[in-house]
Structure 1
Amino acid sequence: MTSILAAALVAAWAAIVLLFLGYSALLGQIRELKSGQPTGGGVSHPELAAPSAVGRTVALVVGSGCATCAEVLPAWLTLVPQLADAGHRPVLLSIDNSTGWAEHGAETFMLGSELSAPLLLAYQPALLLFDESGAIVSAEPVGSALGLQEYCAPLLGLVSS
């Protein structure tokens, strides 16, 4: 009986240590996001490089298992020509390689498997900005169509006061 209790105690402590390590890693990622520094650990994605030093590649990252992604897509499709007219490169990026976005009205999109380096995001949809070297400038979670429009407003010169 005592050997069973001892084994259970060791297993419980091992679980506590693993939870602590996971929590520490999560806190590190949260601090990185709050710092405002580019996320992605210096990884460059040349296939997502912006067209110029002035413009940005504006990528909406979506996943097939994400209901919010499907809700945000119509707003994205409305913003695509506006972003292109403003000198940016809009890209719809299917992070899980789903091609079902064509059924939702997306004419063109990029698959996550086409990237030269993995994009590690804990949330979808997300709006990512890339500079002319393909480095991530910012990554913002998008929770609604209105949120997407608000994130894109400065890129379109529609700054609210």
Structure 2
Amino acid sequence: MSENFTGRRTQVMLTGWPDTSGEDPPADHPYRAATWLLGRHPRLAQLATRIAGVVYVDEHDGELSIDVAHLGDVFAAGVKYGEAWEDYEYRHRPPEDENAYYQWQEAGPKADDFAKGLSGLLPMSSGEVAYLRLLATLGTTRVPFKLDDLRSLDAEGQRLLGDWCRAVQEG
């Protein structure tokens, strides 16, 4: 996190990771593997900035850092958020009137009450989520992951998957 002119911490929206395209993946270090992927895949880096609390400027060295564990926590919270909505819909049936529906929806569970940044993940496409899911698996939080999660990867995403496999094999 960095401090703005008011002295408050702010989320940064940067994608300038060091270029790692000419480097091999680091061995036995998931955090470095994550930054290696971010340096090779600018789109992944851009997507990571859309999740609050994931990308920040390190206070000690001024370098970009990533909180992969937090990203994993966001994915884990998504499951609980979905369950909360199921429960809410069961207990409070959605109204048919459009205006009443928006009020009903507003009264329902709030994504960021489950994890800071979840509201940034929810509107993403399945392909974008797949990018971030690969990154999140390098953290300490168990991230649900299945083969079907990879079906929406485009050509760039398939290159990311190949690099992710290289990083995992080195780790």
Give the shorter-chain TM-score range.
under 0.3
TM-score (norm 1): 0.25
TM-score (norm 2): 0.24
Which entry has the higher C-alpha Rg, 1 or 2?
Answer: 1
